[in-house]
Structure 1
Amino acid sequence: MHTRLCELLGIDYPIVAFTPSEHVAAAVTRAGGLGVLGCVRFNEASALDETLDWMDANTDGKPYGVDVVMPSKIPEEGTKGELSNHIPPEHREFVARTLRELGVPETKANDETGGVLGWLHSIARSHVDVSLKHRVSLIANALGSPPSDVIEQAHSHGVKVAALAGKAVHARSHVDNGVDIVVAQGYEAGGHTGEIASMVLLPEVVDQVGHDVPVLAAGGIGSGRQVAAALALGACGVWMGSYWLTTTEYLESMNNSSTMQEALVAATSSDTVRSRIYSGKPARLLKTRWTDAWQQPGAPTPLPMPLQNLLVSEAHQRIAASHDPTVVAMPVGQIVGRMNAVRPVAELMSELVSEYGDAVDRLQKTR
């Protein structure tokens, strides 16, 4: 399992792992892939700086990346208090009423972990500035092409830029804007995702941007067989996010609170829903009583980014503290149906490589 992506990023296997956990990201990097740390949870640049210091010290000198959330169009911003003024009272009343009906107890909100301001363009830029002071080899943007000056800034530090695309036309635009790697993310994926399935999207993107631009397959990948399929469709590697949520390293990041993992391990591939209730943009989430409440008659329309995340941030904290797996608020892809046990990252990486080899051997025997 070796492609030109390995040469481009200095990794052993063309497996890129997006994760909000520095423990998972470091473990993937140490195992030969590229761990990519999600930065949106960092409201303060100093907290990200400290975490990347830890990454530098715990990745054995191997490359890693970061993922930012930076809209291509710079939105109107303000302080948390100023933004809060734009949230309609009826939305706040709905959230409060829903939490009561779900039996979620009240807890003291923690502004340090709310993940609210991390959705702002200005904060995302600070994430880029901090990251370029560290040993990152890739900056990925979850919302498409970053502004041209950010791409130039990364390139001046020898850092590659990746952008997610849900349509072939978006992929072409990313390349024209100077993006180095396109992540073709299919409908099955967790988090922000488009409407075209991976099997259809991936070859369309590869054909659109040409074989000179590395394309990563994302969405519905959780086995070596699926990695082999992605490469057969023209990808240079895979981008995996959901699959790492049920690792022992992620459990460590959650202070050994296993409620979320209990919910994921019990779920099937049918137990997800695509909704704007998490961030204001369409994202695939685990289907729970919390997501069901937003689909009931009379539920308000989700607000645009970043107001929706600001609205539900405290609710997400209370849900996490409730230790009730039936109300978990968590982005995850349809691959959740394969996430049936909590296992170490190294074990998952070894299995992916082994299954890939078996799949290629089977294909060779069909000649």
Structure 2
Amino acid sequence: MARGAAFLGSEHAILCGAMSWVSERNLVAAISNAGGFGVIACGAMTPDLLDKEIAATKTLTAKPFGVNLITMHPALFDLIAVCASHGVGHVVLAGGIPPKGSVEAIKEFGAKVLVFAPTLALARKLLRSGADALVIEGSEAGGHIGPVSTSVLAQEFLPALAEDHLVFVAGGIGRGDMVAAYLEMGAAGVQLGTRFACASESIAHADFKKAFFRANARDAVASVQVDPRLPVIPVRALKNKGTEEFTAKQREVAQLLDDGKVEMGEAQLRIEHYWAGALRRAVIDGDVENGSLMAGQSVGMVTSEEPVATIIEGLLAESEQALSRR
């Protein structure tokens, strides 16, 4: 983990996954203050909102933290400029292949770039193109997911890349034993989201957290793609009325495509805006019936509200014990 920690500038190479509405100033600062590495979820924020969020986070922690930007955001380069103005040290590009010039724009102001890659070939290409580190995230994760499990990705990517590159593993990690296993395989660190979503410092609504405490792994299901022309990235969330409403939303957007009322890019943005709104209803308003309860399959290991520091200490202790047994 030392390589990952040195790269991040944190005590431990434990990243917090960028969860829209959840990974904001309070949780991000708490994770960084506890020795981990907090990451602001920019999501659908405007440049002005991101500017305020970074500034507010800086008032709560003097430790390093990063910013996660969605590659399809229409104001991506303006958001990068905001990160530059604050001297953000690490930017995570998520949600697709980084558009031309984005990696260069981030590196120009001295920040490190972390990217996601679903295939080994693409990972190599992104690393050759200037990305400083890679996050491999399996289908067990919450929110937007790929089709392959974390364990398979780790077996494919780590032997091929870990010796020469920094690779962080994410998706379905709920205990320190699993952290230890991926470190032994060569990972530079790990990323967790679901375990932190219900931390004491998380601003998520009490009812949102209670839904997590009641859930088990099989309650966290992936969304279904309705129309093959609408390349919707699957989203893993706790099954409720909101997951059914998403199916109806896809049909609605597909009809707009049929009628020539929207272009493909606009159609995808409408889907993303749906998720942002549905997630807000659950996280902020506590509407656990109609909102989106994005959660990974490790949700069954989230049984109570704990401070971030306690979660990180527990993960490290379990990891130490697992390595000692070996």
State the TM-score, normalized to the length of structure 2: 0.85
Q: What is the aligned partner in structure 1 of residue 135 from structure 2?
A: 183
Q: What is the aligned partner in structure 2 of residue 90 from structure 1?
A: none
Preserved CA contact (<8 Å) 1:166 1:184: yes
Deviates more, 1:126-135 or 1:21-30: 126-135
What percent identity do the matched residue pairs reach?
29
State the TM-score, normalized to the length of structure 1: 0.76
* CA distance 1:260–1:207, shift in 2 (3 Å): same
Give structure 2 stretches of 5+ with no counterpart. 226-230, 255-266
Aligned counterparts of 1:136 and 1:322: Cα–Cα separation in 2: 30
Find the residue that maps to 1:260 and give its secondary structure.
helix
Q: What is the aligned partner in structure 1 of residue 304 from structure 2?
A: 341
Find the residue that maps to 1:136 and give its secondary structure.
coil
> Residues 1-367 of structure 1 correspond to what in structure 2 (within 5 A)?
2-19=1-18, 20-42=23-45, 44-60=46-62, 62-71=63-72, 120=73, 122-209=74-161, 211-250=163-202, 253-254=203-204, 257-275=205-223, 280-292=232-244, 294=246, 300=251, 304-311=267-274, 323-363=286-326
Aligned counterparts of 1:290 and 1:169: Cα–Cα separation in 2: 36
Give structure 1 stretches of 5+ with no counterpart. 72-119
Aligned amino acid, residue 259 of structure 1: D
Preserved CA contact (<8 Å) 1:148 1:177: no
- TM-superposition CA deviations, 1:112-170 (whole Å, max 9, x none): xxxxxxxx3x3232221111222422111112442342211222222110111222223
* CA distance 1:170–1:192, shift in 2 (3 Å): farther
Aligned amino acid, residue 165 of structure 2: V
* CA distance 1:57–1:308, shift in 2 (3 Å): same
Aligned amino acid, residue 68 of structure 1: L
- TM-superposition CA deviations, 1:40-74 (whole Å, max 9, x none): 141x21221111111222212x2110001004xxx
* CA distance 1:30–1:266, shift in 2 (3 Å): same
Aligned amino acid, residue 71 of structure 2: M
Aligned amino acid, residue 300 of structure 1: R
Shift of 1:310: 3.5
Aligned counterparts of 1:243 and 1:319: Cα–Cα separation in 2: 17
Aligned counterparts of 1:315 and 1:348: Cα–Cα separation in 2: 27
Find the residue that maps to 2:294 and give its secondary structure.
coil
Aligned amino acid, residue 182 of structure 2: A
Preserved CA contact (<8 Å) 2:146 2:233: no
Larger radius of gyration: 1
* CA distance 1:8–1:315, shift in 2 (3 Å): closer
RMSD: 2.5
Q: What is the aligned partner in structure 2 of residue 106 from structure 1?
A: none
Shift of 1:356: 1.1
Q: What is the aligned partner in structure 2 of residue 116 from structure 1?
A: none
* CA distance 1:66–1:229, shift in 2 (3 Å): same
Aligned counterparts of 1:356 and 1:160: Cα–Cα separation in 2: 27
- TM-superposition CA deviations, 1:201-225 (whole Å, max 9, x none): 1121123435211000000112111
Aligned amino acid, residue 48 of structure 1: L
How many residues are matched? 305
Aligned counterparts of 1:11 and 1:333: Cα–Cα separation in 2: 25
Preserved CA contact (<8 Å) 1:145 1:177: no
